[in-house]
Amino acid sequence: MARRHLVTPGSGARRAARLVLATSVLGLALATAPLAAGAQEAGSVPTLAQVLAGEVDGLSATARATPADEAMGVDVEFTNDGDDPVEVAIPFGTLVVTEEESDQTLAVTPPPSPEVTEVAAEGGTPTIEVGTGTSREELPAYCTELGDGYPYEGAAVTPIEDAHPVLAETLRAAMAAEAGTDATQEAVWWLTDEPLVPVDDDLADLLAVDTAAFAASPHMVTPDTGYIPMWMREELPPGDGGSMANPSPYDEEEAAGILDESFEGPASPTSSSSDGGVGPGLMLWVVFAGLVVVAAVVIATRAGRAQPATTPALARTTPGWYPDPWGGGGHRYWDGQAWTTRVMGPR
């Protein structure tokens, strides 16, 4: 999918700022390499994503999608080579994907039980006990891409980056409220594809977001998987009369002007402890990372201030959503002649 670029005055200063930022990011990557490459921090409970990614010594797992005509979920097979059972944390919204870009990204949740409901209500992360040898665990999952198909039965799934906290906390709220699978799925699809208002009170109680504000300026709550949400497709030409419920086919090049995504495939998840906190060693790395990023952003901002481009490159007359030339990480609507005040996405 072709990428679109904006050309702005002061590009030399921006290149210098980008060089500073890239150097900082490289240094940060090298500094945190031991954390990314090793197993979880000593004393912490490994997460499902870490086990699936092969980051836990003596404990491994594979996961496959369950049949579509049954309750959605994943069937996880654990292999514990140790002499004792191991606790594994199941964070709300652990994301897994197949190798097929057209398949759903699944958000895995802990298996429901009174104990899990209590932990969810208290803000913790439920765990399961994995016995020695080989064992299996069926975990519920929810579709996060309304326009994609469910994986075929037995399709292997692997973890990707974490979901946005809004999605994770919505799944937690649904578990704490003991909402049914249909209501939980509806809440997930409201966030990922159909942020429509007004929202029924029962559904609004599950959504961990200001629904009016989110609906006015929705944003992605799953990482880049090459998927264009329904709320973005609605802005595309109507084609064959499609709608949010039955979207019309979209042209890839036209869609590139709205959101340039590419399927990156499975990614090694970040390490985390079962109670959502971090250990002392990890906290030092987080503080260091924050200082590096803040310094780089400040330098980049001061060196690269410039007026936004008056027209989007490669699309001087085509109306559509383009990366906001004023920055902020979102998208701004180009009406074919000038930038409008309509924006969506992060600000």
Condensed to tens digits (0 to 9), the pLDDT of residues 209-268 reads: 999 999 999 999 998 678 889 888 755 444 333 333 334 343 444 444 433 333 344 444
Q: Is 65 helix (H, G, I), strand (E, B) or coil?
A: strand
Q: What is the mean pLDDT of residues 269-275?
A: 41
pLDDT bin (cut points 50, 70, 90) of residue 335 is confident
pLDDT computed for residue 344 by the predictor? 73
Q: What is the pLDDT of residue 289?
A: 62
Distance of alpha carbon 64 from alpha carbon 77, whole angstroms = 9
**Which residues face 157 on adjacent strands?**
63
Taking the alpha carbons of 234, 239, 243, 244 in that order, is the dihedral positive or negative? negative
The full set of domain ranges for the chain reads 43-226+263-276, 234-260
Question: What tens digit of pLDDT does each residue of 23-74 get?
Answer: 454 454 444 443 333 334 445 899 999 999 999 999 999 999 998 666 789 9
Task: Give the predicted TM-score (pTM) of the model.
Answer: 0.60
Other beta carbons less than 10 A from residue 102's beta carbon: 13
Place of tokens 């999608």: 65
